[in-house]
Structure 1
Amino acid sequence: MSERHLSIYLDDWILKDVRDGSHNFFRRLIGAVEAAGWSTSLHQTGPEARRAAPDRPGYALYRMEAPTHDRALTSRRTYVGAFWHVEDSAERWDWPVARVHFDADSIDGEDAAHFFFGTRNRLYPGVKPVDEDNLAFIPLQGRLTEHRSFQAMSPVQMIEAVIARHSGPVVATLHPRESYSEGEIAALEALAARFPRFRFQTGGSPDLLRRCRFVATQNSALALEGFFLRKPAVLFALSDFHHIAGSVPRDGIEAAFARLSQTPPVARYLYWFLQLNALNAGRPEFEERLRAQLRQFGWPI
């Protein structure tokens, strides 16, 4: 096998779409590397495949998994639309975009507005955001009672912190792909019993995002989506899209909440974060930008 070979490791549920060419990002990625004279192969990921990967010739690409060796990278969808990242770390908060300074004045306002309204109309056609109920929306993720290393506090503690700093109703939603333990649900029920302004539910996130005053979360994608509806956010965990949000790990909790009174430049930010700092698999320049990204990691392409 040539050294100019890319082995792509994917979960079984996505392999079918990639093999039949119906997954746009991977279809164009494979086309981009093969157009540069490389060969490609698809593999089901898993512990055994990951152990064997460093001994295979050529290079490797994963999806939402940590790279296994210095010739491997990982890919991940950048929250919305056709935007993706290819990076050398699986943790989004370690990506270059998370560490770089966002300068709104350096972004062309006309280009940003065109991108913002065009993307918003595609993602949220006909949606009219309101703020009539002074509602704080908390999209939960997983492991509600644990304080993990990238978090300022546990999700349950986060809910208490929001209740303490917001006078209106507070509504949390359970993540549809998480499986919650009896203890986690009991912790939420105990909060609801202590604080009548708080409730939690399954589903309804799109409507809550439209109606809320702000989003508070560890680092849920719904906070980024809320920027398209001009909803400010407070993040309680490290994130790649912290720049215009209040960030408890970065600012401290009181300063993070104080940022809710500001009006962030959401159009310029989303244009910068998505169009300028991610790979848009819906654009004609995707292949060349992808190859340039791979060259930045030393790949001979």
Structure 2
Amino acid sequence: MTERHLSIYLDPTTLSQVREGQHNFFARLIGALKAVDWGVNLHETGPIARRDARNKPGYALYHMEPPTHARALTCRRSYVGAFWHIEDSAERWEWPVAKAAFDADEIDGQEAAKFFGIWKNRLYPGVNPTNERDLALIALQGKLRDHRSFQAMSPIQMIEEVLARHAGPVVATLHPKEIYTADEIAALEQIASRFSRFHFQLGGSPALLPKCQFVATQNSALALEGYFLRKPAILFAKSEFHHIAGSVSRDGLEAAFQYRDQTPPVARYLYWLLQLNALNAGRPEFEERLRAHLKNFGWPI
């Protein structure tokens, strides 16, 4: 039997939080494994550590990094609250939940409404969504001129397609943590010079989200957050939360844009996506569900 031991690889900031007992998810994960006589060690991630990981006994867990070998998994927070995924791929669109079929009729409406109400009030207390300006909000991420393999087109092309299909104002928000090149900014300025109803800005998405008609993005978390305000989403890249969105990759451009005029079943969907298909580190049953989840990957638990 492979040794019942877990090596956890973390970036310096997260590693420090875990060592100081300030990270609930990892604290409960470590406790859940130690409770069944597993050993756990923490390591700072990096090229050398990742290269050498396959030679260590036992199993490995990475945070938002691809697994390095067959005995390794990766984990990632699912955008809000204490919801997490532990999977064998870092590509979210390859996760089981991404490939699962969502059927709103199979979801308990009362439980979903309760869940939705609690989280809407936590995330947007007192916010009443409107659509007075007929605004399209484009949440940009990085590499604006690149058409990457998981995308239907580049972010710059995405802006052009939104402008071609939405007659009202369009605002694109730059991600505060991304670094944009002069060439990328020039491409945005060129679009703004052609369309007076288009402008771009650094950040500001939380203030714009309640006021928009819909969110267009590659696969930004802002689209998921918009569900809590009942905002339709159009995704231009693969994602694990595509089910109630218009997906250009799945549907094509014209069919995807039909979703902007629909009211998606957000309460049932968010309950299904987060409470039923993610690990909730804020719940009492987390340790039990975690161990069952790891056992499904063949870990000796």
TM-score bracket, normalised by the shorter chain, equals: over 0.9
**Which position in structure 1 is the counterpart of 2:86?**
86
Q: Which runs of 5+ in 1 are unaligned?
A: none
Matches of 2:16 and 2:126, distance apart in 1: 34
SS of equivalent to 1:69: coil
**In the aligned structure 1, how far is the partner of 2:147 from the partner of 2:220?**
16
Residue 161 of structure 1: how far off its partner (Å): 0.2
1:290 maps to a residue whose letter is L
Q: Which residue is equivalent to 2:32? A: 32
1:67 to 2:67 alignment: yes
- Report the equivalent of 1:278: 278
Q: Which residue of 1 aligns with 2:245?
A: 245
Using structure 2 for the length normalisation, give the TM-score.
Answer: 0.99
Q: C-alpha distance in 1, partners of 2:263/2:16? A: 44
Aligned with 1:156: secondary structure?
helix
Q: Figure out how many residues of one structure are paired with residues of the other and give that number.
A: 300
Q: Distance in 2 between matches of 1:19 and 1:122?
A: 28
Which residue does 1:164 correspond to in 2? 164
1:254 aligned residue: 254
Residue by residue over 1:203-258, the C-alpha shift from the partner in whole angstroms, topping out at 9 and shown as x without a partner, is: 21101101100000000000000000000000000000000000000000000001
Q: How does 1:1-301 map to 2 (within 5 A)?
A: 3-301=3-301
- Provide the rounded CA distance (Å) in 1 between the counterparts of 2:124 and 2:77: 18
Q: CA deviation at 1:36?
A: 1.1
Structure 2: how far apart are the matches of 1:66 and 1:203? 28
- Post-superposition, which runs of at least 4 consecutive aligned residues in structure 1 deviate over 3 A? none
Shift of 1:128: 1.5
1:7 CA drift (Å): 0.3
CA distance in 1, matches of 2:130, 2:81: 23
Does the residue aligned with 2:144 lie in a helix, a strand or coil? Answer: coil
- Provide the secondary structure at the position in 1 that maps to 2:61: strand
> SS at 2:209's partner residue?
helix
Give me the whole-angstrom Cα distance separating, in 1, the residues matched to 2:130 and 2:233: 15
Percent of pairs identical after alignment?
Answer: 72
**Shift in Å at residue 270 of structure 1?**
0.2
Q: Residue 122 of structure 1: CA displacement?
A: 1.0
Query: Does the 8 Å CA contact 2:213/2:260 hold for their aligned counterparts?
Result: no
Q: Which amino acid aligns with 2:227?
A: F
TM-superposed CA distance for 1:80, in Å, is 0.8
Q: Normalised by the size of structure 1, how large is the TM-score?
A: 0.99
- Taking the aligned partners of 1:261 and 1:168, their CA distance within structure 2 comes to 14
- Please say which of residues 119-128 and 282-291 is displaced more in the overlay: 119-128
Q: 5+ unaligned residues in a row in structure 2: which ranges?
A: none
Bigger mean CA offset, 154-163 vs 253-262: 253-262
What is the distance in 2 between the residues matched to 1:244 and 1:8? Answer: 34
1:29-76 alpha-carbon deviations (Å, 9 max, x no partner): 101111111010000000000000000000000000000000000000
Q: Could you tell me which amino acid in structure 1 is paired with residue 219 of structure 2?
A: N
